[in-house]
Structure 1
Amino acid sequence: MKQKPIIWTISGSDCSGGAGIAADIKTGHGLGVEVCHLITANTVQNSVKLLSVNPVAIDILQQQFDVLLEDKPPSVIKIGLVAIVEQVIWLTQVIKKIKLTIPELIVVYDPVGQASVGGHFHSLSRAELRPLLNIVDVITPNLAEAQNLVQLTDGAHQAALAQAIYQAFNIKAVIVKGGHNDNPQQCLDYCYYQLNQLKQDNQDKTHQPISYQLSSKRITSHYSHGGGCSFATAFASFLALGYLVRDAFTLSKAFINQGLQASIKQSQAKQHQYYGAFEALSWPTNAVDFPKVSEELSRQYQDLPAFNSLNLNGRKLGLYPVIDSIYWLKRLLPLGLEIIQLRVKNLADDELEHVISEAVELAKDYDTRLFINDYWQLAIKYGAYGVHIGQEDLAEADLHSIQQSGIRLGISTHGCYEFLLAQQLQPSYLAIGAIFPTTTKDMTGQIQGLNNLAQVLSLRPEQQEKQTPVVAIGGINIERAPQVLATGVDSIAVVTAITKAENPELAVAELTAFL
């Protein structure tokens, strides 16, 4: 059995079982991580009132910290209720110390302040919290907590709050939860993230901040006690499991939607004032629980019609070779493939245009669908069947022009956030990768694996006629192809499995036999 990643949760105990340590343990175990806990305070509360907060002595916390560090070191620490300034000072010191021995450690802080039932968990000022705020990696306040941290007015929107928190404390990822906003129909969550700061995202070469925004239909349930704690712990768990910030953010939102939706009937059967514990379930896999991506790209193209289909007439898309020259195109076109992609790099403009025009002309004598990688203007100019665009180039492409030209569009995705965004754009097909490590491209931190591929495929609409074909790519060879296809993917894209094979034509035949 594979060892589970370990997270520590350092927070208060809620004797009513809704929030704090109880929520953290239920959430972590439901998502498949091992949870160790240090209790900062014993609270006296129920579903209608908070009576008292009783801090735990520093010497007890220190003993627990030392014995756990010796036996069960964490990959992520999630901090919730910090009751007194002495705990702030202690936490700041021990986190600095542990990061010397575990430099890849990520610290997530959920700044618990006011109880949902009324009353305050602590009276710490921003100045007193600052030492801790300056060393955490992720912070997950709700609207009120965010406003309090940066002392902005009630009118400040989430983006402004997140950016103000980042600037004030240099926290690498700021997530402002939207469960307490005034919109009765929609719940928005906003993440402001400094790329290349968390260790698990070190493949990003830019240091420019980026934002992610997710929206969901508001789910009204009286079983939401501990929802904020559960969100932060879910996020910590997904980080511990190796997910990038954007995907951990998306999965955490889906986890919360799933729990709230599961308690609707129970909530309706109770009296209105009842305040029950959030329903922390397991891994979210139902497409209806996942949010919509609400960022500039999705808003820009929200009214864009769907791109033309691949016109498969019930056939499978089959094997999808990705090649880099006219030589390989001439060699593969006679083999009766449904689709081929030409991906050429580092050519002078004149040579590039000549290669693409020749490739399109060659493909006209065959039924194979030729996609041009990235160069959408030239694909339109020479009438290619389609163009494939990677995530790094998607924002620069003119999707209106591509759609109006009638050529097909394929989009690369890496994980659930990008898959949801690309799916909203209604392309002709979606690619997801890298499924396995590959020598053709540096995919550090973005290897999906078979389990994640299957999970992402579950995010397609239930109705088959509404599903966009999905291509798996990255490190796929003859030995791995059956496992990949068993996930239900529509096609497999390969590069070196053909171009470095002793007999490329035989390799095509063997791979095609699986499809």
Structure 2
Amino acid sequence: MANNMIKPIIWTIAGADCSGGAGIAADIKTGHSLHVEVCHLITANTVQNAAKLLSINPVDIALLAQQVEVLKNDKPPRVLKIGLLVSIEQLNWLKKLIGELKLENPSLIVVLDPVGTASVGGKLSALEPKDYHALLPFIDVITPNIDEAKALVDAPFAEVKTLASTLAERGQNTVVVKGGHSDNETVVDVAFDQRENRWYQLESPRINTRYTHGGGCSFAMALASYIAHGYLLRDAFTLTKAFINKGMHVNRGKLDYYGAFEQPLGELNAEYFPQIESLINDRYTELSAFPSIGSQQGDQALGLYPVVDSLAWLEKLLPLGLEIIQLRIKEKSSDVLNAIIAEAVNLSARYHTRLFINDHWQLAIKHGAYGVHLGQEDLLEADLAAIHNAGIRLGISTHGCYEFLLAQQLRPSYLAIGAIFPTKTKDMTGQIQGLDNLRQILAIAKHVPVVAIGGITLDNARAVLETGVDSIAVVTAITESACYSQAVTKFQQLLPPSTA
């Protein structure tokens, strides 16, 4: 197996559209714009244009098998993306191929974008929707539009969540139903991750354009590309939605010609990202913004943000001129926690340091802490209205763009993003952000201070700060240093001076 891959490799198995908008053409353009290497296996050559479909000409399975043989050792795929299949013979061959590839590489992800009809009208495949049922157990992610989902489930009047959950029961780990084919002014895309039993719903205003040919193929390929880059499903889904929105935006208002979807290049700015629909956001639609704590761009810099787990560490660090600190205590009895937090609030008040209490929001309110910090898993259980009414600040942990957008809609006092680098304090497998993702997060931040956390040391802190993040949170870089006070001083020297 090749070991010198710089870009992740995706194999796309799909049809060739001679008009250049859909199928293999869309997959290659999308993959290249998202920095993946694309190998393509063509299942059929179609004869079509912007007005009509004339013919579908299948490619012999023997030729497809030869292409697989020369590619699988030279350029093995990280993701296999499947589009048009034109016969039951191709479907059966593909089932066998996926089984073989997954034996060689159990981490291979298979994305299926089921294609039945051409956007200009006409049937592209001899397969019936029910024929796909035998393939579903071999698929990791399936991305039908709402009409395709109805056909696959044979439920023409079912709601989108019913379609997604029914498809998931038939073998997929994840179902993404694309909403672009609806007539609504808001485009709603829904994903159901069966492995985690979690729903994701993204909404964006409809962008009126007829440059949409191949948009569905591009959506599936963008999702496959982000997955190939290591993004979790929720973030790959969110980034894909932003990618499609930006591509549609390029030709917005152009309604007199049916043209190919234009794959965008460059940064995905905040305007292209969707609204996150979730139970937590629905619960607090009327809640106003939480009180501000300032930022480097405002009158009050956040400064260095240590996170410690004891009163002893508070007593050591508070005299060092910190503007902000967090107390994170786990696995203590309620009486012990009550006493610790009461004393912590008193200590921080003596030094005029803004103290955030991790998790224990009731005790933070009771003892008048400056703020509360919550993880994503705590948002549904905590009473955000009670925290808000107490007049204390709220910080929220996020891990990727989906969680960041969800939390940002709550208008907290600050958002933390991590882990930037691998960290000793918790297992962040699959959620290491790196500096590029941090920059992407900062591009979608709207009027909220952002704190970077996770694996930040004196060696890499300057690079983190150069992204423009408002603050850095550190744990072991202080608590495990040879001299904690020197470590604090060195970190503080890297940060802009406070004007508090």
TM range (shorter): over 0.9
CA shift digits 1:404-431 (9 cap, x unpaired): 1110000000000001111111000000
2:100 is the counterpart of 1:97: yes
2:217 is the counterpart of 1:229: yes
State the one-letter code of the partner of 1:414: H
Distance between the aligned counterparts of 2:100 and 2:116, measured in 1?
26
Matches within 5 A, 1:175-324: 175-183=176-184, 185-195=185-195, 208-264=196-252, 267=254, 271=256, 274-311=257-294, 314-324=299-309
State the one-letter code of the partner of 1:299: D
Q: CA deviation at 1:160?
A: 1.0
Q: CA deviation at 1:125?
A: 2.2
Choose the corresponding residue for 1:488, options 452, 468, 483: 468
Give 1:79's aligned residue.
82
State the one-letter code of the partner of 1:130: H
3-state SS, counterpart of residue 380 of structure 1: helix
8 Å contact from structure 2 (residues 294, 449) kept in 1: no
3-state SS, counterpart of residue 44 of structure 1: strand
Q: CA deviation at 1:153?
A: 2.5
State the one-letter code of the partner of 1:508: V
Give 2:64's aligned residue.
61
Distance between the aligned counterparts of 1:87 and 1:2, measured in 2?
29
**What's the TM-score, normalizing by structure 2?**
0.96
Identity %: 59
Q: CA deviation at 1:282?
A: 2.4
Give 1:510's aligned residue.
490
8 Å contact from structure 2 (residues 307, 326) kept in 1: yes
Give 1:335's aligned residue.
320
Q: CA deviation at 1:123?
A: 3.1
Choose the corresponding residue for 1:435, options 420, 429, 452: 420
Give 2:459's aligned residue.
479
Matches within 5 A, 1:104-183: 104-154=107-157, 156-167=158-169, 169-183=170-184
2:356 is the counterpart of 1:371: yes
Distance between the aligned counterparts of 1:245 and 1:48, measured in 2?
36
State the one-letter code of the partner of 1:505: S
8 Å contact from structure 2 (residues 12, 27) kept in 1: yes
8 Å contact from structure 2 (residues 294, 301) kept in 1: no
CA shift digits 1:338-363 (9 cap, x unpaired): 10000011111111111111111111
Give 2:382's aligned residue.
397
Choose the corresponding residue for 1:454, options 439, 443, 451: 439
State the one-letter code of the partner of 1:469: P
CA shift digits 1:41-91 (9 cap, x unpaired): 001110111111111001001001111102100000000000011000000
Q: CA deviation at 1:126?
A: 3.4
**What's the TM-score, normalizing by structure 1?**
0.93
3-state SS, counterpart of residue 307 of structure 1: coil
Aligned residues: 490
8 Å contact from structure 1 (residues 31, 283) kept in 2: no
Aligned-CA RMSD value: 1.2
Deviates more, 1:143-152 or 1:305-314: 305-314
Q: Mind listing any 5+ residue stretches in structure 1 that lack a counterpart? A: 196-207, 462-466
User: Per the alignment, do residues 283 and 296 of structure 1 end up closer, same or farther by CA in structure 2, a change over 3 Å counting?
Assistant: farther
Distance between the aligned counterparts of 2:334 and 2:451, measured in 1?
29
3-state SS, counterpart of residue 256 of structure 1: helix
8 Å contact from structure 1 (residues 113, 122) kept in 2: yes
3-state SS, counterpart of residue 315 of structure 2: helix
Q: CA deviation at 1:311?
A: 4.6
Distance between the aligned counterparts of 1:404 and 1:45, measured in 2?
62
Structure 1: 4+ residue segments shifted above 6 A:
none
CA shift digits 1:348-400 (9 cap, x unpaired): 11111111111111112122100000011111111100000011211211111
Distance between the aligned counterparts of 2:208 and 2:434, measured in 1?
35
Q: Mind listing any 5+ residue stretches in structure 2 that lack a counterpart? A: 496-500
8 Å contact from structure 1 (residues 372, 384) kept in 2: yes
User: Per the alignment, do residues 455 and 192 of structure 1 end up closer, same or farther by CA in structure 2, a change over 3 Å counting?
Assistant: same
Distance between the aligned counterparts of 1:33 and 1:332, measured in 2?
46
Give 2:34's aligned residue.
31
8 Å contact from structure 2 (residues 139, 171) kept in 1: no
8 Å contact from structure 1 (residues 8, 77) kept in 2: yes
Distance between the aligned counterparts of 1:12 and 1:311, measured in 2?
54
